[in-house]
Chains A and B, each alone.
Chain A
Amino acid sequence: MDLLTMSGIHKAFSGVPVLRGVDLHVARGEVHALLGENGAGKSTLMNILTGSYTADAGTVAFDGADLTGASIKAVEKAGIAFVHQELNLFNDLLAYENIFLGQEETGPLFSLNKRSMIAKARELFERLGVDIDPTALVADLKQSQKQLLEISRALFFDAKLLILDEPTTALNTAEVEHLFKIVRSLRDQGTSFIFISHKMPEVFELCDTYTVLRNGTFVAQGRIADTTPREVTGMMVGATISERGAWEPRETGECVLTLDHLCGPGFSDISMEVRRGQVIGLTGLMGCGTTELMQCLFGLTHPTGGTATAFGRRLAGGSIHEAMKAGIAMLPSDRKENSVVPDMSLLENMYLSEHVLSARRFVINRGAEQERFERYRKLLSIKANSSGDSVLSLSGGNQQKVFMARWLATEAELLLFDNPTQGIDVGAKAEIYHLILDLARQGKTVIINTLEIPELREVADVCYVLYEGRIVKRLEHDEIDEQTVMLYSTNSVADDRAAQTPAQTHE
């Protein structure tokens, strides 16, 4: 018997249909993968399920009750919990306070029964095998612990169905394993899950059944055991995508960036040489120092030792302006927070950085800006109606292209891409890889930081694996594969490393 049945769900936003007759069935005690590209309607469907939106048509039945058009409160009470990608935790409260928020146990005179609540939280964490101190401040927890805390909170109130929206984005392999172990044991106890993810290996490792959406319509559902990642990806994008990457060996030019024993906040003793036209991959576990290294090169932080020389100029560090003038650009991670200027149009979002360099010419030349926009729109194939549209009207992939244009417009020669495909759907990812390779062919130098290893295979000529702020391995393109990179990222090859230490990867 199905625990959840959503059928014939329709929803339109200001006349634009987002969902057109979508069905979703989730059985008791299974992990159900909800698959689809960004914009396929997954979030809208989930928001209808949780009561954040009201469906225009269609019914929702859960656990024998009709939940059509129910309020958020009623849905919660029925036993559905949504673990958001952006976690809904209060960083300034303690772990147990987050669990009991709004449902605190009180004694006489509204005083809080702290001891009892802490004990219950501890008992819950132990039962789930989660290693969190109930009295820890949430702000001090690691990302993975926050994720688990959020899940624990949902389970504490007897959720029968948990929606996990890309729960592994911020987790490393070991943490993902731990999360999956907990999910599996809960599933065996009868809890159901809806699992939203873009990572196929995870879906095939964890899930029992799946539903695929495309452009707001229902495409297929079935058992994971009966399908292949290739087939599912094909259903998501509508056509089978070619497996072969576009990478091929390229001629590289002179040395454009030299790091000599560079140290800074979060990384140390980084030495490398980067040549014109190269694509360099940086990878490692969350917090291994790759992001910090990029930020330091871009002048966000001050180096504490060693030297960085770009295009023959030694960088003093600590100034974005200096880095920009030296021809360095950085596309930061977390697009929404670090790149999007929400109140501005596409055009305005695009020209901001170039205007920093050309601030002396005070007045904006609209014609020239429009021309430049058209040029980059063609070059990067940005799908947009008009340059005056709000940047928020674009999908994630197209937004990211606008920000690539923002930096290309500054005529930067060294491009630092920090997790450029974060939260971007499969089709757009492939386009971004092509763009990166095209740029390299045209003589731009690219350094890309990513946690996704397949991504490195797609674009990187050379890959540096970092562990706790130090380079542990340099891999050529042909040596990059999931297993090898993971081995070095997790520092599982201690012997190898010890043998290398004297000569510490001078390239």
Chain B
Amino acid sequence: MNDKKATSTTGLASALGLVKKYSFVLVFLAILIVYAVANGGLTLNAGMNVLRHSAVIGTIAIGMGIVCLTGEIDLSVGSMLALVAGFSVVVFNMTDSIPLTLLFALLFGAACGLLNGVLVGVVQMPAFIVTLATMLIYRSVAQYACQHLPGELIGNGSSVYRMSNELGSYDALYTFGNARVAGVPIVGIVMVLMVVAFVFICTSTKFGKKIYAVGSNAKAAHLAGISVPLMKTLVFTIAGALTGLAAFLWVAMNASADPATTGNSYEMYAIASVVLGGISMSGGRGRMVGVLFGALSYDVIDKIIIALKMDSLIQDTIKGVILIVVIMIQVAGPQLKEFFASRRKR
């Protein structure tokens, strides 16, 4: 909003440039207005709910964002979420320790990402294929282990990993996942902090600039001395660690993880958030802050559907349509402008 006000005095061209640069903010505001109308007004509480419900997707989307900046893709994050969340529950049930559970989630997620990263970066297999394969693997391992682990480790659920509520730390962890500080959900704060951290990494550190360089022109980056395999491996590993963090948030919020449904289609939502946030899928272009708005936008769409009392099964249709429309405006906009400009001349 402030961006728009500040530029009203300067030239139209720079204003248009800003709009283009921060189009994800406009998309978010547009969706928010629709929600306000459908809901008959906006409450602070509703806004905080959006933050809470987009915490997991947002955290995953940050990782997806840096992966996409290098020009790669990670389809395995949804399954990875289920796997890491499930095993984190097991670790919690074994140790009754929140720090150990968090540490495990981060490390296990990083390890899952490392596998992707080594195959893509070092072995140089196509990311689409590698992560498609690990998507199948991670989900399957999560489901298999759930059936074959001793009952007490998975909280005596039948096909769900459940935190045992008899443990001493249960309340503390569940509170962490659901409580608010000054009205703001803690999980939302964690997600926003991560966004802030990665905005900093991508704009102000040497590592961040190398991510962009690899995505923009990998050959030139290689010849400038950057180790492209190492960068890709690191980026996938970080994406894995962030998915691990998301899994920890998930466990804290839900106290359980269903290996069959947890994280279903989350890779798609994360990619959509990244694209909606203005990051180029071919790499090298875009801002991390866009990912935050992309993720928030998607959650508001859910809320609109609930407010309109529509069948929730229609959600994905609407999300898909919005994605197509937004990208169409981005891609076709300049072409249309050119077309009409040349029309007028004749």
- Closest Cβ of chain A to B342, distance in Å, is 6
B interface residues, Cβ below 8 angstroms from A: 204-207, 209-210, 212-213, 215-217, 219-227, 284-285, 342, 345-346
Evaluate contact between A352 and B226: CB separation under 8 angstroms: yes
Shortest beta-carbon distance, B99 to chain A, in Å? Answer: 25
Are B213 and A352 closer than 8 Å at their CB atoms?
Answer: yes
User: Which of A69, A352, A358 has most B Cβ within 10 Å?
Assistant: A352
Which A263-281 residues sit within 8 Å CB-CB of chain B? Answer: none
CA distance A300 to B225 in the complex (A): 10
A69 touches B346 (CB 8 A): yes
A56 to B345 alpha-carbon distance, docked (Å): 8
For A406, the closest partner residue in chain B by CB is B224
User: 3 tightest A-B contacts by CB?
Assistant: A343-B284, A343-B216, A356-B225
Which of the candidate stretches A187-195, A332-340, A426-434 sits at the interface with the other chain? A332-340
Q: Which residues of B contact A239 (CB under 8 A)?
A: none
Assess whether B225 is in contact with A341, with CB atoms less than 8 Å apart.
no
The answer to whether residues A352 and B224 also contact, given A338-B219, A343-B284, A344-B212 and a CB cut-off of 8 A, is yes
Q: Which residues of A contact B217 (CB under 8 A)?
A: 337, 340-342
B227 to A: closest C-beta gap in Å? 7
On whether the beta carbons of A362 and B206 are closer than 8 Å, the reply is yes
Q: A56-B345, A343-B284 are in contact. Are A338 and B223 (CB under 8 A)?
A: yes
Cβ–Cβ < 8 Å partners of A356 in chain B: 210, 224-226
Contact among A332, A338, A342, A364 with B206 in the assembled complex (CB-CB below 8 Å)? A364
Contact flags (1/0) for A353-370 with B, using CB distance below 8 Å?
101111101111010000
Interface size for A (C-beta < 8 A) is 33
- In the bound assembly, the distance between CA atoms of A348 and B206 in angstroms comes to 10
* CB pair A352 B210 closer than 8 Å: yes
> A321-B227, A362-B206 in contact; A337/B345 too (CB < 8 A)?
no
Known contacts A359-B207, A364-B204, A364-B205; decide if A341 and B345 are in contact (CB<8 Å).
no
**In the complex, A339→B216 CA distance in Å?**
11
Assess the A339–B285 pair: CB atoms within 8 A: no
Tell me which residues across on chain B come within 8 A of A358, comparing CB atoms: 206
Q: Do the beta carbons of B223 and A339 come within 8 Å of each other? A: yes
In the assembled complex, the CB of B277 is this many whole angstroms from the nearest CB of chain A, namely 16
Residue of A nearest to B284 (CB): A343
Nearest CB on A from B14, distance (A): 13
> Is A54 an interface residue, CB under 8 A from the partner?
yes
Q: Which residues of B contact A357 (CB under 8 A)?
A: 225
Question: What is the CA–CA distance of A300 and B224 in the complex, to the nearest angstrom?
Answer: 11
Query: Contact partner of B216 among A69, A320, A342, CB < 8 A?
Result: A342
User: Which listed residue, B205, B206, B212, B225, touches A343 by the CB 8 Å rule?
Assistant: B212
Q: How far is the CB of A28 from chain B (nearest CB, A)?
A: 30
A352 to B220, CA, bound (A): 10
A340-B217, A342-B216, A343-B212 as given contacts; A362 in contact with B207, CB under 8 Å? yes
* Residues of chain A within 8 A of B205, CB atoms compared: 362-364
Mask: chain A, 160-184; 1 = CB below 8 Å from B; 0 = not: 0000000000000000000000000
Give chain B nearest CB distance to A341 CB in angstroms. 5
Bound-state Cα–Cα, A401 to B237, Å: 36
The interface centre, meaning the residue of B209, B220, B222 with most chain A CB atoms within 10 A of its CB, is B220
A80 within 8 A of B: no
Given the known inter-chain contacts A54-B345, A324-B225, A356-B225, please indicate yes or no for A341 contacting B220, CB distance below 8 A.
Answer: yes
Instruction: Assess the A54–B225 pair: CB atoms within 8 A.
Output: no
Bound-complex Cα distance A353 to B221 (A) = 9
A348 touches B225 (CB 8 A): no
Q: Shortest beta-carbon distance, A59 to chain B, in Å?
A: 14
On whether the beta carbons of A344 and B213 are closer than 8 Å, the reply is: yes
Q: Give the Cβ gap from A203 to chain B, nearest Cβ, in Å.
A: 32
What residues on B are CB-neighbors of A352 within 8 Å? 209-210, 213, 221, 224-226
Q: Which of A230-265 contact B (CB under 8 A)?
A: none
CB distance from B278 to the nearest CB of A (A): 13
A300 to B215, CA, bound (A): 20
Contact of B209 among A69, A339, A355 (CB under 8 A): A355
Nearest-Cβ distance from residue A346 to partner chain B, whole angstroms: 13
B220 shortest CB reach to chain A, Å: 5
- Given A341-B284, A352-B225, 17 more A-B residue pairs with CB atoms under 8 Å apart are A54-B342, A54-B345, A56-B345, A69-B346, A330-B223, A332-B223, A337-B219, A337-B220, A339-B224, A342-B216, A348-B212, A348-B213, A355-B209, A355-B210, A356-B225, A361-B206, A364-B209
Q: How far is the CB of B79 from chain A (nearest CB, A)?
A: 31
CA distance A363 to B207 in the complex (A): 8
| A residues in contact with B346, CB < 8 Å | 69
A76 CA / B209 CA spacing, docked (Å)? 44
